[in-house]
Amino acid sequence: MEKNTLLVLENFIGGKFVPCTAQIDSYDPSTGEVYCKVPDSGEEEVDAAVQAAKDAFPGWSARSPDQRAQVLNKLADLIEGHLEEFAQAESRDQGKTVTFARTVDIPRSAYNFRFFASSVLHHTTDCSQMDHMGCLNYTVRCPVGVAGLISPWNLPLYLLTWKIAPAIAAGNTVVAKPSEMSSVTAWMMCKLMHQAGVPSGVVNIVFGLGSRAGDALVGHPEVPLISFTGSTATARHITERSAPYCKKLSLELGGKNPALVFADADLDRCIETTVRSSFSNQGEICLCTSRIYVERSIYATFLEKFVAAARKWKTGVPSDPGNNNGALISKEHLEKVRSFVALAKSEGATVHCGEGINHPDLPNRNINGYFMAATVISGVADSSRVMQDEIFGPVTCVSPFDGEDEAVAKANGVRYGLAATVWSRDVGKVHRVARRLQTGLVWTNCWLVRDLNLPFGGMKNSGVGREGGRDSYHFFTEVKTITIKH
């Protein structure tokens, strides 16, 4: 690709695009070629963005929830009006299929603004009477100030808007840092801010590396709140950097999500859904199923049918509507995911399909892209790193269990606790197992059904805090108790 055809992004600070002196290469995962230059921002750029957000805060927070909601709805309209353009850009930047971006990422990005535009209008506060003291107590909720938002590369616009929407709906202003590997749709959204009526400085987006721009944001003394989605290791660093300032933190981290398949499950529906839950978006969703435990009496049947279904899950050029998966985000990530499959083989596990067995059929221009077929492994020990660590790729492990207690013990036997799925027709069993699982979300006989009103988040190493209708509102506001004596 010629130098002059490269897309060059700029930071969005105080309602204006601001060029950056240093830049980072961003790759098209489907070809392995550089196609974009992303600002390599640091303390100076973050400081300018924080100042712009601080300046905008009094005016924005003084608006009524309804006035702010109108702006969010307009932004949703504009994203929907450019849906195809956003979908094509998201696919090219992240590697996902255009179909997935068109049907999942971009519609959900617009819906995030619509949902929080509505949600912010429906919160009430608490009141208590103390007649014997002649007092009335009530609470009010106030926006916190400048919110620092750090979003990941797997669902770039979807997860960025999941943070921006509730933050500004509640009256905060924001400084956001998307992943340097998938920044294009965030930059495109900035172009719509003025038209949507977002005042200058309310939304600022600074692009760059986590180690520089992210670190400057989480360590900034005038950013009292950080919402982060990403790895557990990065979250530890954020916690340490934030500790001297006692910042509010919401940390949505990794997962090693189990599916428990009992003998009385509807097997056809289970397999169809579990293939999707294991491999959707190249397995690059924090909620993807990476461990499948199957009751021993149906284990052989399940494995045979599941492998056959996984072989039909097509991987290839993201623009082809016949493909289920596109490319993984980067060469380094592809090598990391492959290394887990190699480790499983070295430990004596069986790879049934995918890595090293089925190769995606690619045209010449995509030969150097970061593609990997849906991979199913069996015979992996529960203690193996393959079963314990988050792989975040199109790889899942299938293993047998005997009885309810063993199923729960295996499911809970990792340091993560984000989501789980349970497959059974026995209502009593479903309730018992769901209560015992150490995860923030449990789906039974389905996957990824989300009501945005309800809490989202994990236990253990999968995070701190919850986000959702009421939970996001509580996170992005401070509560104050007021007592009136009469």
The values of phi and psi at residue 117, to 5°, are -60, -40
Strand, coil or helix: 319: coil
Q: With the CA atoms of 250, 436, 265 and 377 taken in that order, what torsion angle do they form, in degrees rounded to the nearest 10?
A: 60
Tell whether the torsion through CA atoms of 370, 376, 378 and 381 is positive or negative: positive
CA–CA separation, 87 and 80 (whole Å) = 10
Amino acid at 412: N
Q: What is the DSSP code string of 47-59?
A: HHHHHHHHHHHHH
Please check whether residue 377 is in contact with residue 344, taking contact to mean a CB–CB distance below 8 angstroms: yes
CA–CA separation, 285 and 241 (whole Å) = 27
Q: Identify the active-site residue in 10, 45, 180, 252.
A: 252
Q: Identify the active-site residue in 36, 190, 286, 353.
A: 286
Strand, coil or helix: 288: coil
CA–CA separation, 274 and 270 (whole Å) = 6
Please check whether residue 278 is in contact with residue 289, taking contact to mean a CB–CB distance below 8 angstroms: yes
- Cβ-proximal residues to 419 (8 Å cutoff; 6+ apart), any chain: 255, 257, 287, 439, 440, 441, 442, 443, 458
For the question of residue 286 being annotated catalytic, the response is yes
Closest CA to 271 of 384, 396, 101: 396
Please check whether residue 344 is in contact with residue 300, taking contact to mean a CB–CB distance below 8 angstroms: no
Please check whether residue 311 is in contact with residue 355, taking contact to mean a CB–CB distance below 8 angstroms: no
- According to DSSP, residue 198 is labeled P
CA–CA separation, 376 and 398 (whole Å) = 7
Q: Token match 């207690």: residue? A: 405
CA–CA separation, 303 and 325 (whole Å) = 21
For residue 84, the tally of other CB atoms under 10 A from its CB is 12
Burial of 319 (0-12, 13-18, 19+ CB in 10 A): middle
Known catalytic residues?
252, 286
